[in-house]
Chain A
């Protein structure tokens, strides 16, 4: 188990290093930030000074090593635009995205798995067919359009919920969260549902496919022959067997929701990381882009590591392979 963990952590480290090079080179290949940062009317001396200050006169690999060295010391640079340390900038936006993404995943999981189980348990029923139809809509209708529709219906026409923004927040463990108050929930529910819709469709289909397969297996038949109640058959035998693909997709979707909730955050004017990165790209704020992308890589690697560890808990056969 320890060996497996060390092996996975080393692999994760390699991925982070490789990605840091790709991200660094990729971002540095686009344009010259100096032109964006300073007044076009300023003179050559000022330009030169600024170039020297940010180290753009040095060779690329040297810039990379300086960047990496700083990063290891917790310094991801300073935003060209906000004149703030990038890390603080991103971390200040993280709670907003975190609570949005987690609420969305919660909605998708709590609705998607039961609906998928039902659709797989009674695949011929009308309700199952309705669920499957809904799931197709869930991941084929563009989310910005659904977002606008939600705003139209619930904010504009019915006036039940606010149309955007984040609402009041309270500080919990140093993070500003809005899910602590009822009013905060009224702000988060629409964007979270909008964000959840795609994942909901995906989880329904995944759960249904697994359930249909497991329901026809010999061990379910054997469990029924033992007189286990249908609840026990589904809760004990089916749920654990279909959980591996579900956990995989859950992990990947959690990562991508955290990193790329951009569309929903833009539509609902949600002050999260997605909006920050889009704004930074428009103004070519390099340090923010690089730091953000590296943070995303780190996030994905960590989530996958956790998912791998959960696999071992879910399927003993995977544990055996990992140990050998």
Chain B
């Protein structure tokens, strides 16, 4: 087992608002090893995107990183400032955003934007930068990359644009790429192609990915490991296949149960009752307790991190007992029988 390239330890990101301090990310820890893909899963507002931005130091006021460490190959990024952080961004750690329609500047040619990205870190000639841009486009499976360099973003499809964004992220062979829901805005068929491409790139280049998403189907087919986030905390983590086959946290179980594809036809689709709590007034103790069928008297106190076999964790007083070697549909049974 190789050393983790990215290790996030007890990360705290807070937003100062009129309603008080919002803890968007509250003690998140995880690690990713070389060439591996970590799925960071959660509903809207769970803090998964803010975690991504925090890692790159792209949190803007009134937000700030209030504590914790982001160790990239052992170097703490939260201590870097200004120019030192700029040199890391894009070179050692890169990011891909959700909406490919918005992430490329509409009035600049693809080539201009890519050459600027190359020359942000390497003092090379325009010609050399252009050659690298072309190679990067070819690497992510874009046909006739030379012509694409001359194109403007609006002349490309959404899937193409997202490939360009991934190509830009890959330009400097970063150790880690944070991908913030990059396939959410795309057709399912295009999404499939891109996921396959990312898997291949991770295996070939050794780049580690943190794949932020709300889509469990994406994670189950792509990620090696999973972190499930709820209200700014990691509630469950572990190897993707294990977590999906046998979730230990009631919230993960609830999410899995509400995936339509795994559900029997003609019966009502189970949902996680209620909605994500506002960060401004979180319930005391476990934030999920008001929506949880398994909640007990202990849940008004902060739950402990429970460690299980294979490095799995769950943030829960009453974790679900493991179901061994059961098909996916039975996980929903496990959740419901417990209720």
Contacts and interface: CB of A to CB of B under 8 A. Distances in A.
A-B pairs with lowest CB-CB distance, top 5: A227-B90, A218-B102, A226-B90, A227-B89, A225-B95
Given A226-B94, A227-B86, A228-B120, A221 B107 contact: no
Contacts of A221: 58, 97, 103
B104 interface: yes
Nearest to A214: B105
B107 A314 contact: yes
Contact of B105 (A124, A219, A224): A219
A232 B106 contact: no
Interface string B168-211: 11010000000000000000000000000000000000000000
B103 A240 contact: no
Contacts of B116: 223, 226, 228, 232, 236
Contact of B106 (A222, A223, A236, A317): A317
Interface string B44-56: 0000000000001
Contacts of B169: 226
B189 to A, nearest CB: 24
B93 to A, nearest CB: 9
A9 B89 CA distance: 49
17 contacts: A219-B102, A221-B103, A222-B103, A223-B116, A224-B58, A225-B95, A226-B90, A227-B87, A227-B88, A227-B117, A228-B86, A229-B120, A232-B120, A237-B105, A237-B108, A240-B105, A316-B106
A186 interface: no
B157 to A, nearest CB: 15
Nearest to B101: A218
Given A240-B107, A316-B152, A316-B154, A226 B99 contact: no
Interface of B: 56, 58, 61, 86-91, 94-95, 97, 99, 102-108, 112-113, 116-117, 120-121, 152, 154, 165, 168-169, 171
A241 interface: yes
A268 B87 CA distance: 54
A315 interface: yes
A125 to B, nearest CB: 12
Max chain B CB contacts within 10 Å: which of A217, A218, A241?
A218
Q: Is the interface of A mostly helix, strand, loop or mixed?
A: helix
A316 B107 CA distance: 6
Given A217-B102, A320-B154, 16 more contacts: A219-B104, A223-B113, A225-B97, A226-B89, A226-B120, A226-B171, A227-B86, A227-B117, A227-B120, A228-B90, A228-B117, A240-B105, A241-B107, A314-B107, A315-B107, A317-B107
Contacts of A229: 86, 120
Contacts of A222: 95, 97, 103-104, 165, 168
Contacts of A218: 97, 99, 102-103
B123 to A, nearest CB: 13
Contacts of B91: 227
B187 to A, nearest CB: 20
B338 to A, nearest CB: 42
Max chain A CB contacts within 10 Å: which of B95, B105, B113, B168?
B105
Nearest to A221: B58
A222 B106 CA distance: 13
Interface string A74-103: 000000000000000000000000000000
Given A218-B97, A232-B116, A227 B121 contact: yes
A224 B108 CA distance: 16
Max chain B CB contacts within 10 Å: which of A223, A232, A314?
A223
A317 to B, nearest CB: 6
B117 A226 contact: yes
Contacts of B90: 225-228
Given A219-B102, A236-B116, A316-B152, A225 B89 contact: yes
B105 A241 contact: yes
Nearest to A316: B152
Contacts of B61: 124
A223 B154 contact: no
Nearest to A222: B103
A222 B105 CA distance: 9
B1 to A, nearest CB: 29
A311 to B, nearest CB: 11
Nearest to A217: B102
A222 B101 CA distance: 12
Nearest to A244: B107
Max chain B CB contacts within 10 Å: which of A124, A218, A227?
A227
A124 to B, nearest CB: 8
Nearest to A237: B105
